[in-house]
């Protein structure tokens, strides 16, 4: 299994541009989520999904959209990029919503917004 | 806001020494997990301790949990240069489903 994959690995955007960060997992996990990590800080939850067709907001959802049309894919869309969205973005998945289920993380996407 | 807060923020030790990192949290939890992140890489799950457990071991890792103090510690014994990384605690119980809340992390440097 490839696990959780993310593309691109690195992206530079200009303010106002839009883009989609891709995330895919091949472990048939129901739960998927997006986090952002700012320098020297932990991860903050942006959006999450408990299954195909179901998404919900996390701690810092503003400026981001998500959709979950399939179990495997959970793309994150930046509608109009802002410098404050410069960060490293991690996608994660887990098998179920049982308490204590381990989350598996992708390698991250580094985003720079100029 | 962050649920977990790690202490210290940075730690530098010599190879062979033990490294202790602490995590405090604010609300009740179902479980607490520790993750490692090597520079420029994603997070790797290390160990999970449930709210009804007090201590757990995994290889050179020892985790304790004190729910009365809302705190946890991660001990790495006989550290190696390869242990150099950032370590994060994460809790659930404050969000719907299985979503985790992460602390700011402890940056550990192990000098050879």
Chain A positions touching B50 (Cβ under 8 A) are 99-100
Q: Is the Cβ pair B50, A100 closer than 8 Å?
A: yes
Nearest to A103 among B2, B45, B95 (CB): B45
The per-residue pLDDT for A58 is: 87
CA B33 to CA A99: how far, in whole Å? 11
Burial of residue B94, with CB atoms counted within 10 A of its CB: 0-12 exposed, 13-18 middle, 19 or more buried: middle
In chain A, the residue whose alpha carbon lies closest to the alpha carbon of B106 is: A40
DSSP letter string, A31-98: EEEEEEE-TT--EEEEEEEEETTEEEE-SS-TTEEE--SSSSB--EEESS--GGG-EEEEEEEES-SS
A17-75: pLDDT as tens digits: 999 999 999 999 999 999 999 877 778 889 999 899 999 998 899 999 999 999 999 99
Q: Nearest-CA distance from B106 to chain A in Å? A: 9
Comparison of pLDDT for B7 and A66, the residue scoring more:
A66
Cβ atoms within 10 Å, residue B52: 9
**Contact at 8 Å (CB) between B99 and A98?**
no
């Amino acid at each position: 299994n490839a696990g959780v994959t993310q593309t691109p690995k690195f992206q530079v955007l200009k303010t106002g541009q839009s883009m989609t960060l891709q995330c895919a997992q091949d472990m048939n996990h129901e739960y998927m989520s997006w986090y952002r990590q700012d320098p020297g800080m932990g991860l903050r939850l942006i959006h999450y999904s408990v299954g195909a067709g179901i998404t919900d907001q996390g701690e810092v959802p503003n400026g981001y959209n998500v959709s979950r049309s399939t179990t495997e894919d959970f793309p994150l869309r930046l509608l109009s990029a802002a410098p404050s969205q410069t960060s490293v973005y991690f996608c994660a998945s887990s098998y179920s919503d049982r308490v204590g289920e381990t989350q598996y993380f992708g390698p991250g996407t580094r985003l720079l917004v100029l | 806001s962050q649920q977990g807060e790690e202490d210290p923020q940075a730690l530098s030790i010599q190879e062979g020494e033990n490294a202790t990192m602490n995590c405090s949290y604010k609300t009740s939890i179902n479980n607490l997990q520790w993750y490692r992140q090597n520079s420029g890489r994603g997070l790797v799950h290390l160990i999970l301790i449930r709210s009804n457990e007090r201590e757990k071991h995994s290889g050179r890792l020892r985790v304790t949990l004190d729910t009365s103090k809302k705190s946890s510690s991660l001990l790495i014994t006989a550290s190696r240069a390869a242990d150099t990384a950032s370590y994060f605690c994460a809790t659930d119980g404050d969000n719907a489903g299985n979503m985790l809340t992460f602390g700011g992390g402890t940056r550990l440097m192990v000098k050879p």
